[in-house]
Amino acid sequence: MSHPVCVITGGSSGIGLALAHRYANAGYAVAITGRDASALEIAATALRAYGTPVLALPGNVALLADCQALAATVWAQLGPASVVVANAGISMRALFRDADMAVIEQLMQVNFLGAVYTAKAFLPQLEQTKGSLVGVSSIAGYRGLPARTGYSASKAALQAFLESLRAEYYGTGLHFLTACPGFTASAIRNRALNAQGLAQGESPLEEGKIMQPAAVADAIYKAQQARRRTLVLTRQGRLTVWLNKWAPGWMDKLVYQHFRKEKNSPLA
Ligand SMILES: NC(=O)c1ccc[n+]([C@@H]2O[C@H](COP(=O)([O-])OP(=O)(O)OC[C@H]3O[C@@H](n4cnc5c(N)ncnc54)[C@H](OP(=O)(O)O)[C@@H]3O)[C@@H](O)[C@H]2O)c1
């Protein structure tokens, strides 16, 4: 029996791992990628319980050659992908004036170019299946956040990239979803880069009190199946996007005050 194929970058943790479970549970063959091969294997072992084919393929989305090798293996072993989720991402927490330029470069390389390389590698397959390219952006792609300059810029660039592609492929049957989660419990804040480019090792949020990755994955799955253009998650996220459109000056102050109050805020 052949299964539709879903590829998820950053499928070993957080939102990507939850998406892999959601798609495998829906009958998709799933291919996941990430840099840590052992974390991928642990994820793949759990995913095999759904009974659909699972590939765990280590790779770095910041390298075009890795994305191309991933696409070739997926096509050869599972068939052309009908859903590709460019989800792999990293974050940062440092004031711009203190941050090494390597931090900003890394954010752009993984979050923006990683999605661009994934799109480049998989569009021939999606053209064949008339499938979906899903980009996992953030509320930070709509509203620049202090101490996250590189993160916000990478997500804004990703959103413009997906919007351009959607227009470029207009009328071809391909689908592009820009998915913007709000704060979601995951490892991303522990791994976020500080000014020197090292993992900050702590989360300023109470991770148990924010949206859980399974709920985010379910919302993204439904939006992809319904072929929606955008998905903006959490009440706080939707309010931020709306207020930023109509009262951007007031939002400058609100956002500053919000992030200044965070635990160990670089703004304090
Ligand atoms: N959590 C939130 O609050 C939140 C909110 C809005 C948007 N998002 C977005 O959601 C996406 C997933 O984040 P998450 O919260 O689930 O984070 P996470 O738990 O840290 O997971 C990130 C995943 O991306 C992979 N990854 C990181 N760099 C990579 C690279 N260069 N090449 C390949 N894979 C790479 C990681 O695996 P390896 O480290 O092994 O490579 C891991 O599987 C990101 O794009 C993030 O910006 C998250």
What is the CATH number for 120?
A: 3.40.50.720
Give the model confidence (pLDDT) of 57-114 as tens digits.
999 999 999 999 999 999 999 999 999 999 999 999 999 999 999 999 999 999 999 9
* Domain-embedded: residue 258: no
pLDDT in the model for residue 121: 98
pLDDT in the model for residue 232: 98
pLDDT value at 214 more than 90: yes
CA 21 to chain centroid, in Å, comes to 16
Give the model confidence (pLDDT) of 138-166 as tens digits.
999 999 999 999 999 999 999 999 999 99
Query: Does 60 sit in the ligand 1 pocket, CB within 6 Å?
Result: yes
Q: Name which residue sits closest to atom 16 of ligand 1, judged by CA.
A: 14
* Domain-embedded: residue 240: no
* Domain-embedded: residue 260: no
The CA distance from 120 to 212, in Å, is 30
Q: What domain count does the chain have?
A: 1
pLDDT value at 1 more than 90: no
Q: Find, among 116, 115, 114, 85, the residue nearest to 217 by Cα.
A: 85
Closest ligand 1 atom to Cα of 190:
20
Whether the full predicted model's pTM is greater than 0.85, yes or no, is: yes
Cβ–Cβ < 8 Å for 232, 241: yes
Q: Name which residue sits closest to atom 7 of ligand 1, judged by CA.
A: 138
* Domain-embedded: residue 254: no
* Domain-embedded: residue 266: no
* Domain-embedded: residue 92: yes
By annotation, the residues acting in catalysis are 151
* Domain-embedded: residue 242: no
Domain residues for the domain of 53 are 5-235
